[in-house]
Structure 1
Amino acid sequence: MSERTSTRRNVLKAAGAALGAAAIPTAAAASTDDSEWTAVESPTGGTLYDVEETSEGAYAVGDAGVVLDRTERGWQKILDGGPTGNGNNLYGADVTDDGERLWFVGSSGAIGEYDVTTGNLNDHSAPMDVTNNFNDVSVTGAAGEANVYVAGDSGKMYYSFENGATQTWDYVTPGSGSAINAVDFYDDRKGHIVDGNKSVFATRDGATWDAIGLADANVNFYGVDSDGADDVWVSGGGGMVFHWTGSRWVPTDTGDAGLRDIEVEGGAGLAVGGGGNVYDRESEAWESDATPTGQNLKAVCRRGDVEIAIGAGGAILEH
């Protein structure tokens, strides 16, 4: 595990453990079985596309620019309309290494930077006058000093090494021009992306990208968890999970559901996808978890004692 990943996750784990003890109202009766996922009351009926842990707890983003905050009183809506107020859908989110700034991106070039400690919102939308859809974002570094990496639907990676300031953005097209579906960084300028052409790319400088696979995958790629140059997890269609070990790709078939997101740490992990499917990895094997929803799940995060999955219809599951 990289120093960046370890440091950020330790900070967020400490913050998340305190909040995890808060009472959260649920739409269904609370389960007495700690192994089960519970449906949690949601303040929105729109699709939620991403969920992240911060120093102040968990946040989720989704349709019409909604941003939700997990508070002691349950999930609360703190923003409608996205960073511009125009109601652009938000598809991806990430948090700075200190957990203090939540970045999110979405349709029509939407990019926002939300200070979870003060509630201030900075609008970085339409960098370089680009108003294409942005599918995902990864940020590294501390609040106010972040490197920002944005995955474009047009196959371009947009990046700023100066916290998204105007005139500091640049872009590169790593592959064939197919949509870049997900991005994740394990160090300041080292990370991975997956695109719609069934390709995985790696960078060591944040600006140039090299293909590292994946030949003959035969499924689309939706999610990526980049934990090191030799530790990359990719989730895709047909229930497929692929693990890059530095020398080879190891495939695993979990079933039929398309897996939209994946998160693995220290060998343990979660993957979520269509039909409310959640897969839990322990003892080097992926196993299906029972869930109380049939909604398509879009993202998952693991923080402290609470694991969260979100998706269509405003679905929020906690474990």
Structure 2
Amino acid sequence: MTDRRFTRRTALKGLGALAAGTAVSATASANETWDTIETPLDGTLYDVVRTADGPYAVGAAGTILERTANGWETVVQGGPTGNGNTLYGAGTTYFGERLWVVGSSGAIGEYNVRTGNFNDYSAPNDVTNNFNDVAVTGMADYANVYVAGDSGKIYSSFDNGATGTWDSVTPGSGSAINAIDFHGSRSGHAVDGNKTVFTTDDGSTYDQLGIENANVNFHGVDSDGADDVTVSGGGGVVYTWNGSEWRTADTGDATLRDIETEGDAGLTVGGGGKVYRYDGQWVQESTPTGQNLKSVVRGSTDIAVGAAGAVIEY
């Protein structure tokens, strides 16, 4: 796959040889089910991604969990600053060698999944607003980093987060940027809390892409190309952009917090433990949890995370 994103949800797309996982068919066999997996965290897990060292999840109190052969284990407590700022978003560099995390009070960090080194890039340009999500493109140590801000700004560094390299832009009304995802080095999409989708092809300037007459807020975005974008939001609504029009699908009434699609396959998750799988249409799947789910990642094992440290695997 050429120039695919290695962001918060699909870190291992195109890494076929890595044992950490590859994409699976959306058609499930009869013995495949969602199972509850124990974790050492009682607080909410807000994001889950795949890295070169396997799946990682981030959440309350600056906690980073790694899925090991012995189950989910804590590898970081306190976040990049050590102050326990909640981590809301995660993304990885190409080939998944670095895990980037963002969160409350301006927290930004880069974790080396091979060595355990953790670099703190928090409060760029002295900004200490909450950061909701992060998209990362490029190789380890040479990454472009895009951060979705609660103040309505998108922050970017084209020099691996180094001090003095951060710029910002307010693409819309100033409503919180809830999610961001990139399909190319400087090409991607973001959504905000004012029912707006933004697109960029230079990583610095953003245009509005829609969505006209949308009546729900947007919470998740999957950017697979300029003409291949999927957005999840309130009221169980999923929007898909095909390059000429937005198409709408209604899954029910649960707020859908995250979405990941590729081709004719996809997953979206949300309130009350809801999971919907796409295989020509969105179909609800039975899950063993009623906890609100915040993030999902597809792979040889699909993983969703959420409130009260919930992790379910398929």
Is the structural similarity TM-score above 0.5? yes
In the TM superposition, what is the alpha-carbon distance from 1:10 to its structure 2 partner? 2.2
8 Å CA contact 1:55, 1:100 repeated in 2: yes
Residues 73-111 of structure 1: CA deviation (Å, up to 9, x unaligned): 000001111100001000000011121000000000000
Q: Does 1:16 align with 2:13?
A: no
Mapped to 1, the partners of 2:87 and 2:17 lie a distance apart of 25
Per the alignment, residue 40 of structure 1 pairs with 37
8 Å CA contact 2:105, 2:128 repeated in 1: yes
Task: Name which of structure 1's ranges 51-60 and 32-41 shifts more when overlaid on structure 2.
Answer: 32-41
Mapped to 1, the partners of 2:98 and 2:21 lie a distance apart of 19
8 Å CA contact 1:134, 1:150 repeated in 2: yes
Mapped to 2, the partners of 1:201 and 1:117 lie a distance apart of 34
Answer 1 or 2: which has greater helix percent.
1
Mapped to 1, the partners of 2:210 and 2:67 lie a distance apart of 37
Per the alignment, residue 4 of structure 2 pairs with 4
Mapped to 2, the partners of 1:95 and 1:12 lie a distance apart of 16
In the TM superposition, what is the alpha-carbon distance from 1:215 to its structure 2 partner? 1.1
Per the alignment, residue 259 of structure 1 pairs with 256
Specify the code of the residue in structure 2 equivalent to 1:132.
N
Mapped to 2, the partners of 1:178 and 1:153 lie a distance apart of 7
* Distance change (3 Å), C-alpha of 1:144 and 1:12: farther
In the TM superposition, what is the alpha-carbon distance from 1:160 to its structure 2 partner? 0.2
Matched residue of 2:298: which SS? Answer: strand
Map 1:213-252 onto structure 2 (within 5 A). Answer: 213-252=210-249
In the TM superposition, what is the alpha-carbon distance from 1:14 to its structure 2 partner? 2.7
Q: Does 1:318 align with 2:313?
A: yes
Matched residue of 1:98: which SS? Answer: helix
8 Å CA contact 1:109, 1:130 repeated in 2: yes
Per the alignment, residue 151 of structure 2 pairs with 154
Mapped to 2, the partners of 1:163 and 1:240 lie a distance apart of 35
Mapped to 2, the partners of 1:12 and 1:296 lie a distance apart of 32
Per the alignment, residue 288 of structure 1 pairs with 284
Mapped to 2, the partners of 1:126 and 1:265 lie a distance apart of 34
Matched residue of 2:136: which SS? Answer: strand
Per the alignment, residue 208 of structure 2 pairs with 211
Among 84, 87, 104, the alignment partner of 1:87 is: 84
Q: Does 1:309 align with 2:273?
A: no
* Distance change (3 Å), C-alpha of 1:263 and 1:133: same
Mapped to 2, the partners of 1:230 and 1:2 lie a distance apart of 15
* Distance change (3 Å), C-alpha of 1:280 and 1:159: same
Map 1:174-213 onto structure 2 (within 5 A). Answer: 174-213=171-210
Per the alignment, residue 24 of structure 1 pairs with none
Mapped to 1, the partners of 2:170 and 2:119 lie a distance apart of 27
Equivalences, count: 305
In the TM superposition, what is the alpha-carbon distance from 1:15 to its structure 2 partner? 2.6
Alignment gaps of 5+ in structure 1: 19-31
Specify the code of the residue in structure 2 equivalent to 1:70.
R
8 Å CA contact 1:12, 1:55 repeated in 2: no
In the TM superposition, what is the alpha-carbon distance from 1:5 to its structure 2 partner? 3.9
Matched residue of 2:18: which SS? Answer: helix
Instruction: Give percent identity, aligned residues only.
Output: 63
Mapped to 1, the partners of 2:153 and 2:38 lie a distance apart of 37
In the TM superposition, what is the alpha-carbon distance from 1:33 to its structure 2 partner? 5.3
Mapped to 2, the partners of 1:196 and 1:299 lie a distance apart of 17
Residues 111-138 of structure 1: CA deviation (Å, up to 9, x unaligned): 0100001110000000000000000000
8 Å CA contact 1:69, 1:77 repeated in 2: yes
Mapped to 2, the partners of 1:202 and 1:247 lie a distance apart of 14
Specify the code of the residue in structure 2 equivalent to 1:150.
V
Specify the code of the residue in structure 1 equivalent to 2:298.
R
Mapped to 2, the partners of 1:4 and 1:220 lie a distance apart of 27
In the TM superposition, what is the alpha-carbon distance from 1:290 to its structure 2 partner? 0.2
Q: Which runs of 4+ in 1 moved over 6 A?
A: none
- Pairwise CA RMSD: 1.7
Mapped to 1, the partners of 2:105 and 2:69 lie a distance apart of 33
8 Å CA contact 1:159, 1:171 repeated in 2: yes
Residues 55-85 of structure 1: CA deviation (Å, up to 9, x unaligned): 1100000011000000000000011111000
Alignment gaps of 5+ in structure 2: 23-28
Map 1:112-151 onto structure 2 (within 5 A). Answer: 112-151=109-148
